[in-house]
Structure 1
Amino acid sequence: MFRRLACLLLLATLAGCGTVNPYYNADKAHHRPNGFVNNDATAGVGGAPWYEVLFRRWRGDFQPAAEPEGGYAAFAARWVVAPDRAQLDAPGGPPRLTWLGHATLLLQAGGRNLLIDPNLGDYAGPTPWLSARRLVAPPLRVAGLPRIDLVLISHNHYDHLDQATLQALLARGDRPQFIVPLGVKAWFDELGIDRVREVDWWDRVDLGDLTIHFTPAQHWSKRGPLDTNATLWGGFWLDIPGDGAPTSFLYTGDTGYSADFREIRRRLGAPDLLAVPIGAYEPREFMRRQHVNPDDALQIAEDLGAGHVVGVHWGSFALTQESLDQPPRDLAAALQHRQLPESRVWWLRQGETRILPGR
């Protein structure tokens, strides 16, 4: 224990060093010479001093305060199902979405298999002892995935970008294209992973009949002791081909509540389906600027005019104080308080697949 604490203190001491932003563009308000900031630069996300983070970790702020009702096995029985292999193994057909636990999503559209924020491992962090443990096994591991053609990375936090998951994917022969935020390509370069394209907020990528926009969010980035906010973060808007008019899908990435989503609607319209975090929000005084709670998530849906909502970023890892089954309860309460129909929410279980709504 002393060795681990000493290592943490050393890393934290080094964290005071700055970085240089090779992408700096003075004409863009979210760019800084040493990295990036949110559109609301006063939010202060990612700026907690190292000693506060260590104290909160010691106090238990980053562990569930209680088990889910009936324990973790009962939670998994309620919220995890075996994926439908017939749908996973046939990328043709109507566009559809499968939740693979936490923030990992499999989107199948136009004959392509798209993987979003992949982490199918047992922990989220640099080493098992300095990580958030996965408390509920994912509905499948990398070996069970269909061939992956495209991977979208919203930011470089370990619960969204897992090295072991990607290396297992590549080891089995997949050669997907990667779309990542500014600055994240260097991480892929160090691992010898190619076919990586970096994007800034509002950049557009056209891949045949699939259109992708990288959208702003209120969050932060960090992979090591020296790189706080050195790389960008955000979400992905996709215009997805279908039999008729394309379906629009927005994955926000991790975010606190902000005006960014009203601007996304102004620029891109109202998404047919919104995937938004509903977990990792307690203690609220610490998490609110970086992680929405279920009520904030519904406000984002209202700001966007989203047709349907699927809640992600919950039910897998030991990240924060709320129990794993608290997010859906709080989401149901928020729907009732806002007098919104429960049918607007996709109550997806991990491993479940649904066809995307049409226009």
Structure 2
Amino acid sequence: MDAASLTAIYQSSKDSVRFFVPLNNKRYLLSFDIPPDRIVEMDWWDSVQLTHPSSPGTILKIHCTPAQHNSFRAANDTNTALWSSWYLEHLRPSHPAFRVFFAGDGGYQFHPSPSWPPPPPSSVQNQYTTTDNATATTNSHNSDDEASEYPPCPAFRQIRTRLGAPHLLLLPVSVGATYAYLRSFVPLPDWCNPFPRHSEGVTGANHMGPWDAVRVLRVMTDARRDEEDGAVAIVGRRTYEKGLSEEELCL
């Protein structure tokens, strides 16, 4: 969110708005002339509760949660401010809690293989349907060797374990992020382009592609359980029968 948007939000709701930011990000909002008493800095696993006089007993609980991404605004402030995700709980008397996870921008796993991401398996007949005899394929590019050498970010599993499975997940889906964006401005052939092509998985440590977003969905919701449970995996508003591979869920 840019400075103009933040300033406009403050100007429109001066009496009630609060800004919650990770550690050492308050300074930026102060530079936009937002008063310090409207800004709350939070560390990972910090939480605050908001209430409203018109809704007794109703609570919005905000958790600052971990995320995997570097931070900088200039060359001299690299990684001097915390990066985070956010987890919200809406609590009402006599109602079940509703939990939302906002990942913001972050990565799940570095994938060094130039053949990553893998192509859709041949067992998939079309984008939305499967047949009873469709067989799941094994992702040869996600071997145990790669997983051990480049382990996935543990934050998502930790968040689910500590705070519970969210009902709604807002996850980023990247196609290369900053690197691909900069490369798009250079109208040169590959052999002399200062931004050479690379595997989309190389930026996976900071920006998750669709294949990793599906993995995070699974980790945080336990949607994929053992087959004995008769579980299904739910992605958006579509339900896929058990037995599909990770690549099929990415379609």
The amino acid across from 1:170 in the alignment is Y
- Residue 226 of structure 1 aligns to a residue whose secondary structure is helix
Deviation at 1:337, TM superposition (A): 3.9
Equivalent runs, 1:51-90 vs 2, <5 Å: none
Residue number in structure 2 paired with 1:298: 214
Deviation at 1:292, TM superposition (A): 0.5
Q: Which runs of 5+ in 2 are unaligned?
A: 52-58, 109-152, 181-197, 224-233
Deviation at 1:239, TM superposition (A): 0.8
Deviation at 1:279, TM superposition (A): 2.1
Q: Which runs of 5+ in 1 are unaligned?
A: 1-160, 311-331, 346-359
Matched, 1:182 2:32: no
The amino acid across from 2:33 in the alignment is G
Equivalent runs, 1:10-89 vs 2, <5 Å: none
Separation (CA, whole Å) in 2 of partners of 1:173 and 1:238: 21
Separation (CA, whole Å) in 2 of partners of 1:197 and 1:189: 11
Matched, 1:202 2:45: yes
Residue number in structure 2 paired with 1:250: 101
Check 1:173–1:305 CA distance in 2 against 1; reply closer, same or farther (3 A cut): closer
Q: Which protein, 1 or 2, shows the higher relative CO under an 8 Å CA cutoff with sep ≥ 6?
A: 1
Q: Which protein shows a greater Rg?
A: 2
Q: Deviations over 1:68-91 (max 9, x none)?
A: xxxxxxxxxxxxxxxxxxxxxxxx
Contact 2:174 2:209 in 1 (8 A): yes
Q: Deviations over 1:119-161 (max 9, x none)?
A: xxxxxxxxxxxxxxxxxxxxxxxxxxxxxxxxxxxxxxxxxx3
Separation (CA, whole Å) in 1 of partners of 2:219 and 2:168: 13
Q: 2:246 aligns with which of 324, 333, 338?
A: 338
Q: 2:3 aligns with which of 152, 163, 174?
A: 163
Q: How many residues align?
A: 160
- Residue 250 of structure 1 aligns to a residue whose secondary structure is strand
Separation (CA, whole Å) in 2 of partners of 1:180 and 1:255: 16
Deviation at 1:336, TM superposition (A): 6.1
Residue number in structure 2 paired with 1:139: none
Separation (CA, whole Å) in 2 of partners of 1:339 and 1:295: 7
Equivalent runs, 1:268-287 vs 2, <5 Å: 268-281=163-176, 283=198, 284-287=200-203
Q: Deviations over 1:320-358 (max 9, x none)?
A: xxxxxxxxxxxx9xx96438779xx9xxxxxxxxxxxxx
RMSD: 2.8
Matched, 1:267 2:162: yes
**Segments ≥4 residues shifted beyond 6 Å:** 339-342
Deviation at 1:182, TM superposition (A): 0.2
Separation (CA, whole Å) in 2 of partners of 1:309 and 1:231: 33
Separation (CA, whole Å) in 2 of partners of 1:288 and 1:221: 16
Q: 2:91 aligns with which of 225, 241, 252?
A: 241
Contact 1:273 1:309 in 2 (8 A): no
- Residue 277 of structure 1 aligns to a residue whose secondary structure is coil
Deviation at 1:224, TM superposition (A): 2.1
- Residue 212 of structure 1 aligns to a residue whose secondary structure is strand
Residue number in structure 2 paired with 1:212: 62
Percent identity reads 34
Check 1:253–1:287 CA distance in 2 against 1; reply closer, same or farther (3 A cut): same
Separation (CA, whole Å) in 2 of partners of 1:340 and 1:203: 37
Contact 2:211 2:247 in 1 (8 A): no
Check 1:177–1:183 CA distance in 2 against 1; reply closer, same or farther (3 A cut): same
Separation (CA, whole Å) in 2 of partners of 1:169 and 1:228: 28
- Residue 75 of structure 2 aligns to a residue whose secondary structure is coil
- Residue 197 of structure 1 aligns to a residue whose secondary structure is strand
The amino acid across from 2:34 in the alignment is I
